Amino acid sequence: MKTITFFMIVTNYDVLIADYAIRSYYRIYDRRDTRWSGDNFTLLVYANCLSKANRERYIPAWRQIPFVQLYDNTEKARTMHLKAGDVITSPEGIERERDSSCENYDELWTTELKKIETPYYATVDADFEILDASFYLKMMDELDWDEGMVGYSCQHDPDRVVHDTYSGETILLGERWHTCFCVYKKITQQCSVSHFYYQFKLPNGRRYCYDSAGFFQHHLIHTHGWTLKALGDAYADQFIHYGAFSKNRSIAPENIAVYRSLAIAAQTGLPADRRWRRILVARKAARRLVQGLAGRSLQVLFKKHIAERGKYRFDEPAYDSEL
């Protein structure tokens, strides 16, 4: 049996960046220096209502990758009559609109993660790319050592007041270990709370909201007594989360490579090319220069593209005309 299963949901809107993200797991596969690297993992790619063009363009190639296990939900979805704007009700009774005509992340995490049989499992986003596997190896070493720790994420946010761009309201957003790359021990499958979004009203009328999986994580800690952890900033240049790419509508095959290279350089100060990363990794001045130039270029060239992810689009067409 493999040690861990990474569960990645890919839609028509993030398929462009997902192709890079999926291949980035070679950075774990190609390493053979620890018990967590090499071929002891599976990347389970859930192709979520991909168009015929996207299925033909990507699925055959992904199936050839040695660590990929792929599930295409095309036949399943035909019987579900999925429609953007329909109301989804969570097991906890919270209603939310379906933002695209495909299966919702919360639904799939709640049903599919419990089917995974490996000792560890992880939610990984289709727009999360591994640049250096060292952060993952650290996470696994600490999880293995600490019996009481059952989850480890790349990032953590405490309770905070935020402006919700989707609803236009100010809300209190509950503590959350980010799900873009979050590893759990199998024992967490015993938690009966779903991975769905959860909310309730405070006495002052403000909504207290748990983003997807946040309420599940809350119960891991406060009901079961387990702990979760997140990485510190020291590992921030070893991965990139492009952020809400599933709401992308305008980045296309013609500009995805430029966008990706600028986004990586703006965050890490290092280019996407692995050879140049090795040369520049210790040169702080050069990294700051690259970071600044890339950040300005990203805002000039892709400001509108990034801003569009702050709103629900309810199936407005992406680059693929078949959608």
How many CA atoms within 13 Å lie on the side-chain side of 271?
11
Least confident of 17-31, 240-254, 274-288: 274-288
What residue has token string 């990034």?
306
Greater confidence, 26 or 252? 26
Is 154's pLDDT higher than 90? yes
> In the structure, what pLDDT confidence band is assigned to residue 158 with cuts at 50, 70 and 90?
very high
According to the model, what pLDDT value does residue 322 have? 47
Alpha carbon distances (Å) from 195 to 24, 37, 110, 186: 26, 28, 5, 15
Amino acid identity of residue 125, one-letter, is D
Q: Are strands 227-230 and 207-210 parallel, antiparallel or unpaired?
A: unpaired
Q: What is the pLDDT of residues 185-217, one digit of tens each?
A: 999 999 999 999 999 999 988 999 999 999 999
Spell out the domains of the chain, with CATH numbers in brackets: 4-248 (3.90.550)
**pLDDT above 70: percentage of residues in the chain:** 86
> In the structure, what pLDDT confidence band is assigned to residue 281 with cuts at 50, 70 and 90?
low
pTM: 0.88
According to the model, what pLDDT value does residue 232 have? 86
According to the model, what pLDDT value does residue 299 have? 74
According to the model, what pLDDT value does residue 321 have? 40
What is the average pLDDT value for the chain, to the nearest integer?
88
